[in-house]
Amino acid sequence: MQTFKSSFLQTLQERGFIHQCSDFEGVDALALKGELIAYVGYDCTAASLHIGNLLSIMMLHHLQASGNKPITLMGGGTTRVGDPSGKDETRKLLTVEQINDNKNSIKQVFSKLLTFGDGKTDCIMLDNADWLTKLNYIDMLRDIGRHFSVNRMLSMDSVKLRLERDQEMSFIEFNYMILQAYDFVELARNYGCNLQMGGSDQWGNIINGVDLGRRMKNKEVEAHQLYALTTPLLTTASGAKMGKTASGAVWLNADMFSAYDYWQFWRNTEDADVARFLKLFTLLPMDEIAKLEALQGADINNAKIRLATEATALIHGTDAANQAADTARKTFEQGIVATNLPTFEYPRAEIIGMGVLDAFRITQLCASNGEARRLIAGGGLSVNSVSVTSHTHILSETDIVESFVKLSFGKKKNALLKAI
């Protein structure tokens, strides 16, 4: 454990953000003077960022809060190439249109946690398509390519692992690290950027940028020392990768993952992870987290509720977070029908006489009749909190309580049929 002088590194350290750094002292000195200009790059492979990316956004937030300048870099150019890090197979190449759509869709999240503008510590957003697409192949080989040793590139994890597993690695992907390294130098040159942060899987790519900066400095480019800082890979205490659920990733955009589901995701955190996540994913002061951390047994649930509400508020706003907390309390603790569950309206006459299989399919709780049948056989479906015992059950007048029928899939997924 080292001690840092700057509040930036102190904060990152006590909250558990730090995995590796190329030079702690150098970063500490810059941070102390408020002269850090740090960037994180974001892939545009999906229409939303997910909680894996959230870690680095939080880091940028702490950076800004400590008086330094953050840069968010959209990978409009690099996404056209595809990052091979941590992937077994080549991903399908996205079209330029898809990438642009994704880029626009992703952008909205940053303003929740970062202040943009023209001021000294205001965040700026850039897109590496602006310079990467203008590169000339021969010039690039001469100016940048000569600084890269293929011997070394082959030894990078992102390449080596592919080769060891006999997995295909195309030339386009092989170039990814060069482009990312170039990004760093480009940002250093034009924006004074001096630090790149990212997940631990990005270490190799980031270091390449640092090295490129040094090599070019000796030659033609007026550049300053560049630094690298990475966060640990996020896993749950039981070792599973963070952020994957049955339906896929935990997205940050509300239209892809509702505030309620997002709240639920954090609410279902394992006991052993609560303190760690409070530090990483909320802005609660450390002494308050210490109090929550001290809770034992079933009281840990209070800490989880706090975690869920705080984390949801950061991304979806305080109102949405409180509403999600409220819905959860009614649904789970009081068994009351909360009306902001997913609701599907149908004429009263149609609901009466509707088969349960249809009802669960219509409300999208079950994907097929077969799935509904299986779950009924296993006691997993219920109507108005009463377990359904037969797949031939027909909804009747008595199932409609104050014009609602509450359908539940397991204990955690609910939907309402509303009679109109």
Partner RNA sequence: GGGGGAGUGUCCCGAGUGGCAAAGGGGGCGGACUGUAAAUCCGCUGGCUACGCCUUCGUAGGUUCGAGUCCUACCUCCCCCA
Interface residue list for RNA (CB under 7 A): 166, 168, 237-238, 240, 245-246, 264, 267-271, 297-298, 300-301, 304, 328-329, 331-333, 367-371, 373-375, 377-380, 409-413
Crossing angle (nearest 10°) for helices 300-316 and 274-281 = 20
Can you give the C-alpha Rg of the chain in angstroms?
A: 25
Residue number, 373 or 418, with CB nearest to RNA = 373
Which residue, among 232, 277, 207, 242, has the nearest Cα to 19 in the 3D structure? 232
Sequence length of the chain is: 420
* Cα 66 to chain centroid, rounded: 23
Q: How far is residue 61's CA from residue 154's CA, in Å, rounded to a whole number?
A: 35
Both tokens of residue 100? 């642009």
Both tokens of residue 365? 């709780």
Minimum distance, C-beta of residue 82 to RNA, in the bound complex (Å):
16
β-strands 381-383, 386-387 pairing: antiparallel
Minimum distance, C-beta of residue 342 to RNA, in the bound complex (Å):
15
How many other C-beta atoms can be found within 10 angstroms of the C-beta atom of residue 324? 25
Minimum distance, C-beta of residue 293 to RNA, in the bound complex (Å):
13
Minimum distance, C-beta of residue 211 to RNA, in the bound complex (Å):
29
Residue number, 23 or 350, with CB nearest to RNA = 350
Minimum distance, C-beta of residue 183 to RNA, in the bound complex (Å):
29
Residue number, 117 or 297, with CB nearest to RNA = 297
* Phi and psi torsions of 153, nearest 5°: -60, -35
Residue number, 192 or 248, with CB nearest to RNA = 248
Residue number, 226 or 376, with CB nearest to RNA = 376
Minimum distance, C-beta of residue 174 to RNA, in the bound complex (Å):
13
CB 312 within 8 A of CB 266: yes
Residue number, 142 or 411, with CB nearest to RNA = 411
How many other C-beta atoms can be found within 10 angstroms of the C-beta atom of residue 41? 26
